[in-house]
Amino acid sequence: VRTEEQIIQFLQTRHSGGGRAGGGRFGNRMAVGIGDDAAVFRASRGSDWVVSTDQFIEGQHFIADCHPPEVVGYKSLARAASDLAAMGAAPFCYLLNLALPRSRTGAWLDGFARGLARASRQFGLRLAGGDTSHGKTIGIGITVVGSAAHGTALTRSGARVGELLYVTGTLGHAALGLELVLRGVHGSRGAMPLLQRHYFPEPRLAVGEWLAARRLPTAMIDISDGFAKDLHRLCAASKVGAVVWEGKLPQFGIPAAWSRLRLKSLELALHGGEDYELLFTVPWRRRTRIPSRIAGVPVHCIGLVRSEGRIQLEGFTGRTRPLSARGWEHFRSGRS
């Protein structure tokens, strides 16, 4: 059992010497790091700070008995980092708030710290401070700080009628992994590759930065709660509607070996959460500047921005139907 002080010290040592996270692109901008009463960031002319916070709560966002501690550590930071990607910001540092039952301050915390340190290195996010307390269940709060050239951070509200709709990567892979966990078959043979995106999602930081630096999108959002739900959010913020072409959606194909689960890949792609892909809009005249891959990640043109009021899915036959904002209900009642 570690004390609160020891927990922060432990997390700090797990993070030290962590490659990019140790100094990285903004090393000189952190005047005071972890260990003092507060961190001090040096403001720099011509750039904006981009800040976001995210909760990761036992029983709601993860199940401590199903999700390994490494996964919980990694994902807690990946989720928050994805919001920086959505703004097109470069990752700088993060702050951690941790509530832990005493029973989780030993081996569980070791695993958690391993996952967190891995994510920290991978995303270039340095631990700038934190606070811990004891709690009945595990609660993780993470605040991420990023940086963007002045005025270039992308918001959800800039989409205009007639623009094209784009999405990165694939949709539905993470939701399939979650289904395997909820159905208790995640330990089965052949399940591991399907769990990868649910366990270790990859926020599209490099793609977001690439797009923002070129000022190509007019609006952008990350897909955390499901493609349909986040499309509705972007449309609401921009006061527009949209039509999505079903045939262009990069659905994750469910391997035939898992057909017995009776899951529909379109359903997972539209309404499954946690893909952490980017959804963005681009004016028609800029379409030729969007390559088919950005930073190694496939980019797909999947629809059009229309006038406010309707968000529709256009099927292969050209027939359209309303695309509801139904998202992914965390650990649906009766499961977990």
Q: How far is the CB of 117 from Mg ion (least distance, A)?
A: 23
Cβ closest to Mg ion, residue 83 vs residue 209: 83
Of 229 and 300, the one with the shorter C-beta distance to Mg ion is: 229
Closest approach of Cβ 95 to Mg ion, in Å?
18
Among 202, 209, 222, 246, interactor with Mg ion by CB under 5 A: 222
User: Which of residues 26 and 276 has its CB atom nearest to Mg ion in the complex?
Assistant: 276
In the window 71-90, what residues touch Mg ion (CB under 5 A)?
Answer: 83
How many residues at the interface with Mg ion, by CB under 5 A?
3
For the bound state, the minimum distance from the C-beta of residue 23 to Mg ion, rounded and expressed in Å, comes to 28
Handedness of CA 118, 123, 124, 128 (dihedral sign): negative
| Shortest CB 279 distance to Mg ion, Å | 10
Q: Is 277 in the site for Mg ion (CB under 5 A)?
A: no
Q: Which is nearer to Mg ion, 132 or 224 (CB)?
A: 224
Q: Do 303 and 313 form a contact (C-beta atoms < 8 A)?
A: no
DSSP letters spanning 41-52: E---TTEEEEEE
Could you count the other beta carbons within 10 Å of the beta carbon of residue 225? Answer: 20
What CA–CA distances, in Å, run from 239 to 159, 234, 235, 305, 312? Answer: 8, 8, 6, 10, 15
Q: Which is nearer to Mg ion, 222 or 277 (CB)?
A: 222
Best CA proximity match to 91, nearest among 51, 142, 147:
147
Considering the complex, what minimum distance in angstroms separates the CB of residue 87 from Mg ion? 9
* CA dihedral for 278, 280, 286, 287, sign (positive or negative): positive
Q: Read off the amino acid at residue 244.
A: V
Q: Are 153 and 234 spatial neighbours (Cβ–Cβ below 8 Å)?
A: no
Residue with Cβ nearer Mg ion (179 or 222): 222
Contact pattern for Mg ion over residues 224 through 253, marking x by CB under 5 A: x-----------------------------
Measured CA distances, 29 to 24, 40, 84 (Å): 10, 8, 18
Which positions lie near Mg ion, rule CB under 5 A?
A: 83, 222, 224
